[in-house]
Structure 1
């Protein structure tokens, strides 16, 4: 069976925010995100909501994880780096800053071991939707249950 990450359209425009072709890359990013959201909704697996600023560089929203029928919701933010897509985005969950060792200062989730090598092999074909599907989703699934079991986060925190 094909994974969700395999079904997200690959991107073709190799342009970052400082490149004249950034608008074309951003159109591809939106199309891939729309496809991923449609797939997730069709599988009753909605788990994030994000939107960019007018430049398409700064993104904010929410992501959530359901554990034992309780929804845990977190702020999500990221900025497209100047060297994108050669450099992956850094996904930030500010309210989890300092609550797990699998996170950098400022609430940036650790992607070095598992996702960064994949991104470097697949760039410029991978984009925001791929980072959410193949990095943030698995990170939440691995870390949130542990943080709940340890009492680090609660349904009301």
Structure 2
């Protein structure tokens, strides 16, 4: 069976926010995100909502994780770096800043060991939807149960 990430379309335009082809890349990003959202809806697995500003550089929304039938919801934000797609996005959960060692200052989730090497091998074909599926989703699945069990976070 193919993984969810393998079902998300790969991107072809190698352009960041300062590149003249950014609008073409952004269209591909939207198409991949729509595809990923549809996959999640069909699998009854919706777990995030995001939207960009007009430039497509600053994104805000929320993500949630259900653990023991309780929904834990968090603000989600990220900015597309100038060197994107060579550099992956840094996913930020500000409410969890300082609550787990698998996070950097400012609420940036740690992606160094598992996700960044994969991104480096797959860029420029990976985009925002891939980062959500392969970085944020697994991070939430690993960290939220631990934080709940420790009493660090409580239901939203």
Matches of 1:137 and 1:47 in 2, distance apart? Answer: 8
Query: Structure 2 length normalisation: TM-score?
Result: 1.00
List gaps (5 residues or longer) in structure 2.
Answer: none
Map residues 96-107 of structure 1 onto 2, 5 A cutoff: 96-107=96-107
Counterpart in the other structure of 2:54: 54
- Give the Cα–Cα distance (whole angstroms) in 1 for the partners of residues 155 and 51 of structure 2: 25
Alignment coverage as a number of residue pairs: 156
* C-alpha distance in 1 between matches for 2:14 and 2:43: 31
Deviation at 1:119, TM superposition (A): 0.0
Stretches of structure 1 that go unaligned for 5 or more consecutive residues are none
For the aligned residue pairs, the C-alpha RMSD in angstroms reads: 0.4
How far apart are 1:44 and its partner, in Å?
0.3
Find the counterpart in structure 2 of residue 130 from structure 1.
Answer: 130
Aligned to 1:38: 38
Please identify runs of 4+ aligned residues in structure 1 that moved more than 4 A: none
Give the TM-score, by structure 1 length.
Answer: 0.99
What is the 5 A alignment of 1:66-145? 66-145=66-145
TM-superposed CA distance for 1:48, in Å, is 0.0
Taking the aligned partners of 2:134 and 2:109, their CA distance within structure 1 comes to: 13
